[in-house]
Amino acid sequence: MVGTIAALLFATSPFALWYAQDAKVYSLLMLAVALEIWALLRALNHPGPRSWLALAGISLISLFVHRLALLPVAGAALAYAIIWPTKDEG
C-alpha cells in the first residue's frame, strides 16, 4: 500500500515530470555530440566533400537539438583551426 501511494505521488509530481523531460533532451544532445565527434574525426582522417558535409549536417542538426550544442561545434572548429596549419607538414 505504501509503495502504491509513493508511486502515485511520484507519477503526479511536477518536478519528476520536468526532470524526465530535461533528461530526454540531454540524452539526445549527447547522441548528437557523439555523432559530431565521430564525423569530425572522420573528416580529419579521410578528408573529402562527403566527410565535411556529414560534419556540417550533424553540427547543424545538433544546434537544433539544444543551445548547448554550440560548445562542441565551436570546439570542433577550434580543433580544426589548430590542426589545419600542421596538416601539410606531416
Q: Is residue 2 part of a domain?
A: no
Q: What rounded mean pLDDT belongs to the chain?
A: 84
Q: What is the DSSP string of 7-51?
A: HHHHHT-HHHHHHHHHHHHHHHHHHHHHHHHHHHHHHHHS-SHHH
The answer to whether residue 70 sits within a structural domain is: yes
Residue 44 belongs to what domain range?
A: 22-86
Pair 73, 33: CB distance under 8 Å: no
Q: According to the model, what pLDDT value does residue 87 have?
A: 67
The answer to whether residue 36 is domain-embedded is: yes
Percent of the chain with pLDDT over 90: 14
15 is a domain residue: no
Condensed to tens digits (0 to 9), the pLDDT of residues 21-60 reads 767 778 888 888 899 999 988 988 888 899 999 989 999 9
Above 60 in pLDDT, residue 89?
Answer: no
Q: Which of 13-17, 52-56, 60-64, 74-78 has the lowest mean pLDDT?
A: 13-17
Residue 9, domain member (yes or no): no
Task: Quote the number of domains for the chain.
Answer: 1
- Would you say residue 45 lies in a domain? yes
Residue 6 resides in a domain: no
